[in-house]
Amino acid sequence: MAGSYKTTPARRAVDRIIAALGRRGIAPGGIASLTVVGRRSGTPRTVPVTPVVVDGRRYLVAPYGPVGWVRNLRAAGEATLQRGRRRERIAVEEVAPEAAAPVLKHYVQRIAIVRPHVAASPDAELSEFIRIAHRHPVFAIRADPDRPAGEG
């Protein structure tokens, strides 16, 4: 069974720091800053994320389940992703569980800190990741051609 995830004031403070480091390009492990408009407030919300590349495509994985940024991203369909000077408008498409499973497995193998929150071990069979993929949304990233990328 995967551990539960709770957003606490301390966690939000750490997330703000890590997102700021991602914006500056100095966060560890490829962490970037994702800014998405709040679905209710309309206010930009920024969180740290770790994009991954699988078979040449970039993805965002929600290891803690459908948390706030996931619901906002589903509603908006687009966001800004920044790491260092590279800042880009992205559009995303949520991936079906069968297609998400190899991405989720790669993510769990690469990002050790999320393992307690995912009910499959890094060496589990792909079928196990297919079984749990609906609990961990995966978004395929594409640069949004309708928006300028901007500079950091």
Architecture per CATH, domain 9-143, reads as: Roll (2.30)
* Other C-beta atoms lying within 10 Å of the C-beta of residue 43: 8
* Cβ atoms of residues 61 and 47 within 8 Å: no
The pLDDT of 83-110, averaged and rounded, is: 95
Q: What is the pLDDT of residue 100?
A: 97
Measured in degrees and rounded to the nearest 5, phi and psi for residue 110 equal -85, -35
For the cut 60, the answer to whether the pLDDT of residue 3 exceeds it is no
Q: What is the pLDDT of residue 152?
A: 40
Specify the 3-state DSSP secondary structure of 52: strand
Specify the 3-state DSSP secondary structure of 147: coil
The pLDDT of 105-120, averaged and rounded, is: 92
Rounded to whole angstroms, how far apart are CA atoms 88 and 26? 17
